[in-house]
Amino acid sequence: MRVEQALSIADLQQAARRRLPPGIYGYVHGGSEDQSSLRANREAYDRWRFVPRPLVDVSSRALSVTLLGRHYAAPLGISPMGVAGLCGFDGDVAMAAAAREAGVPFVLSAASTTPLERVVQAYPDLWYQGYLPARGDIVEPLLQRVWAAGVRVLVVTVDVPIASVRENELRNGFSIPLRLGPRLVWGGLCRPTWMVSTFARTLLRHGMPHFENFTATRGGPIISAAKGDHRAGRAAMTWREIAWIREKWQGRLLVKGILHAADAGKARAIGLDGIFVSNHGGRQLDGALASLDALPAIAEAASGMTVLLDGGARRGTDVLKAMALGAHAVFVGRPAMYGLAAGGRRGVLHALRLLSREIDVDLALLGCPDVAQLGPHHLCRADTPAVGAQPAARLHGDTHDLLSERLIEESK
């Protein structure tokens, strides 16, 4: 099947499952422990329903947004996803090039296997995401390298003080760094197309991939332990270090992995430019609050900052719900990786175009001609009676709004 024949992100997911070795697909698709946070991210969208308004002129629709001073074609972005080169040849460059063509932001993961300087050539305005330790002697040279490469937006992921336990990956023999055990090797042999077009091609063109962007210097190969330990020092990271980075970094600065309104208040006090509301796609603390459930309280506490949502979006309707609840844009990780596995750069671009097309159609059906006009009045809770449904803005008595009000109060 040509990748452009996929009608939805779910179609791309199935194409990726058929193409990737089970261990690598499990890494992309799965979460931590019992994967309850992973499920919660999807279930959160189902708790909201639209309140459409007909007889509105929607003959033209506006999808564009301005984020951090830059204009983008749609309220979408690609979240950082590590070792994308395992899903498709030159995966980091492919995703960057697709995002640039689609006119949306792309965040390069620190766990990428292509030197950021080469990825910047494919998309000069990409954002860089760092897993940073509480060590200025390591962070400052990295900041200098990232700035010298032309990157002006830095995203610091703060919800990975230590690695989570991902049992589905362990059962499939997958780990990072990769260990070439029987399960992983057999899984590769069962996917000969992937073996030739991705794995063998990578070895022939670039040699064994390395962790290229954790620090200012090149890391170790992905099949052995990194030089030192790229996770060392993260457990000591506090808001004090974020404030220090704010002083050192001249560009835009965001933190990723915020679920509490009080933390949004701290980010604003430090002078950060934005927040990613995220539970790491259900890949870190299992049982954590769904990103969408955390969004309304954080959006209110982060007034004046750019608020981005990451977690669980698979449809244009998901994007509209998140924006109605306070997000300025929605970033996707797995949908981009599914597209990469299914069809390289073309697959990633198709994933973005599918979501953009759905946003456009859904805006018209909702009776809202511009994403900038989305608000809580376009939603009601799923358990609200259909007759005389109250918009989300008026539903202050349910559990969700009580939680939101408490979190906002604590942030003051």
- 77 SS3 class: strand
In angstroms, the CA 76 to CA 322 distance is 11
Check if the beta carbon of residue 255 is closer than 8 Å to that of residue 158.
Answer: yes
The whole-number pLDDT of residue 168 equals 83
Question: Binding residue per annotation — 304?
Answer: no
The whole-number pLDDT of residue 396 equals 40
396 given a catalytic annotation = no
In angstroms, the CA 198 to CA 297 distance is 43
What is the architecture, at CATH level 2, of domain 3-373? Alpha-Beta Barrel (3.20)
Q: What is the pLDDT of residues 5-63, one digit of tens each?
A: 999 999 999 999 999 999 999 999 999 889 999 999 999 999 999 999 999 999 999 99
ω into 221 cis (within 30 of 0) = no
Phi, psi of 411 (to 5 degrees): -80, -15
Per-residue CA distances from 162 to 132, 133, 234, 351 (Å): 12, 11, 7, 31
Question: Binding residue per annotation — 278?
Answer: yes
In angstroms, the CA 159 to CA 69 distance is 26
The whole-number pLDDT of residue 405 equals 52
Question: Binding residue per annotation — 356?
Answer: no
Distance of CA 187 to the CA centre of its chain: 27
- Taking only the tens of pLDDT, the chain with its 412 residues reads 799 999 999 999 999 999 999 999 999 999 988 999 999 999 999 999 999 999 999 999 999 999 999 999 999 999 999 999 999 999 999 999 999 999 999 999 999 999 999 999 999 999 999 999 999 999 999 999 999 999 999 999 999 988 888 888 778 888 777 777 787 788 888 899 999 999 999 999 999 999 999 999 999 998 875 555 555 688 989 999 999 999 999 999 999 999 999 999 999 999 999 999 999 999 999 999 999 999 999 999 999 999 999 999 999 999 999 999 999 999 999 999 999 999 999 999 999 999 999 999 999 999 999 999 999 999 999 987 554 555 665 444 444 454 555 544 554 5
Q: Please give the single-letter amino acid code of residue 103.
A: G
Question: Binding residue per annotation — 109?
Answer: yes
The whole-number pLDDT of residue 180 equals 76
Out of 280, 328, 378, 400, pick the active-site residue: 280
| First-residue to last-residue Cα distance in the chain | 54
Question: Binding residue per annotation — 406?
Answer: no
Residue 251's Cβ-count burial label (10 Å; 0-12, 13-18, 19+) is: middle
Question: Binding residue per annotation — 256?
Answer: yes
DSSP 320-386: HHHHHTT-SEEEESHHHHHHHHHHHHHHHHHHHHHHHHHHHHHHHHHT-SBGGG--GGGEEETTS-S
Question: Binding residue per annotation — 314?
Answer: yes
Question: Residue 151: beta bridge partners?
Answer: none
The whole-number pLDDT of residue 399 equals 40
DSSP 104-164: --BEE-TT-SS-HHHHHHH-TT-EEEE---S-HHHHHHHHHHHHHTT--EEEEE-S-SSPP
Domain ranges of the chain: 3-373
The whole-number pLDDT of residue 86 equals 94
In angstroms, the CA 264 to CA 297 distance is 9
Check if the beta carbon of residue 122 is closer than 8 Å to that of residue 93.
Answer: yes
